[in-house]
Amino acid sequence: MMKAIQLSTFGGPEVLKLVDIPVPEPGPGQVRVCVKAAGVNPVDTYWRSGANPTLSLPLTPGLDGAGLVESLGPSVTEFAVGDLVYFGGWLTGAYAEKAVLRVSQLHALPAGVTFQQGAALHVPYATAHRALFHRAGARAGDVILIHGASGGVGLAATQFASAAGMTVIGTAGTERGRQLVEAQGARYVLDHTEPHYLNRIPELTGGRGVDVVLEMLANVNLAKDLPLLSRGGRVIVIGSRGKIEITPRDVMMREADIRGLSLFNVADDDLRSIHAAIASGLHCGVLKPIIRDELPLSEAARAHTKVLEPGAVGKILLIP
């Protein structure tokens, strides 16, 4: 048996229970990992509350983790028992002492990267890379507004974009968050709780506007983002928690694009390329996952409350 967080009904954070359940056995093409750290992402809270109708109960959440390979399913040759790995994706859930994953969801933990950092890689960094390089087609010299730069995805995007020669304008809601965003490479940092903070964008871009907006809260910001774009600019909708009214003319006049992103849609081939970029960035030191809190597995409910509160400064982890 093993300890795991399980929900047997959808609802608030209180439905996350620490229970004893059987250790999962890896099937063909699968691997069991002894989980040393699990990443907490906002999407885990959406799943918990029942927003994903494809899920059935009982369920152990968690899409991000890192640990040691401890058992191989039939026909697995890519990994060996004892390998240090991080993983991204869901099969049995990362909020547990042990998790079973498909081989395609596992990646070697690069030398010098801790289990805690490994558990902060897949969802934030793969999303940030996908947004900048696949969906936005951003390149050196572009100006990128990262609207919500202090959280997991925003900090990853700040690091990726700065290292690739882009000018980052990042936003955060607290002084601590703004200092962190600046330290990760943003050229300018704005406070998204101030009433007129976006009025500075024309001055910061010499009147040209921004080439790309990475938007973490589109239901609040999308209408304000569109007039900030340069001609041919792109808004990448990464996060949204409701509806919003926009002025289509703002897109028309600039021949601008609003593009969605869902990490769940990324093909295995693209994921391999993304994780190669992550490994390279970690190796040469331009990517550095920022850990904000490490909580025991028993405090999963507190982690779910915290991850949705204002004041992000990096990743929250659960330690089994």
Q: Does 280 bind ligand NAP (CB under 6 A)?
A: no
Exactly one of 183, 262, 280, 296 binds ligand NAP (CB under 6 A); that residue is 262
Q: How far is the CB of 247 from ligand NAP (least distance, A)?
A: 19
Beta strands in 238-301 (DSSP E): 257-260, 291-296
DSSP 27: -
Q: Does 170 bind ligand NAP (CB under 6 A)?
A: no
Q: For residue 231, give Cα distances in angstroms to 147, 228, 235, 246.
A: 19, 10, 12, 18
* Nearest C-alpha neighbor of 145 from the set 234, 79, 272, 260: 234
**Cβ(4)–Cβ(19) under 8 Å?**
yes
**6 vs 158, beta carbon nearer ligand NAP:** 158
Peptide bond into 195 cis (omega under 30): no
Applying the rule CB under 6 A, the residues between 103 and 162 that interact with ligand NAP are 123-124, 127, 147-154
3-state secondary structure 143-158: EEEEECCCCHHHHHHH
**66 vs 72, beta carbon nearer ligand NAP:** 66
Q: How far is the CB of 98 from ligand NAP (least distance, A)?
A: 25
Q: What binding mask, one character per residue, do residues 217-256 give for ligand NAP by CB under 6 A, x or -?
A: x--xx----------------xx-----------------
Structure token digits, residue 90: 């869901």
**76 vs 222, beta carbon nearer ligand NAP:** 222
Task: Report how many residues bind ligand NAP under the rule CB under 6 A.
Answer: 33
Applying the rule CB under 6 A, the residues between 21 and 60 that interact with ligand NAP are 41-43
What are the backbone dihedrals phi and psi of residue 80, each rounded to the nearest 5 degrees, phi first? -125, 155
The Cα 313–Cα 315 span in angstroms is 7
Q: How far is the CB of 312 from ligand NAP (least distance, A)?
A: 4
What are the backbone dihedrals phi and psi of residue 133, each rounded to the nearest 5 degrees, phi first? -100, -30
**Residue where the block lists tokens 């289509």:** 248
**32 vs 315, beta carbon nearer ligand NAP:** 315
Q: How far is the CB of 219 from ligand NAP (least distance, A)?
A: 10
Interaction site with ligand NAP (CB under 6 A)? 41-43, 123-124, 127, 147-154, 171-174, 177, 192, 216-217, 220-221, 238-239, 261-263, 307, 310-312
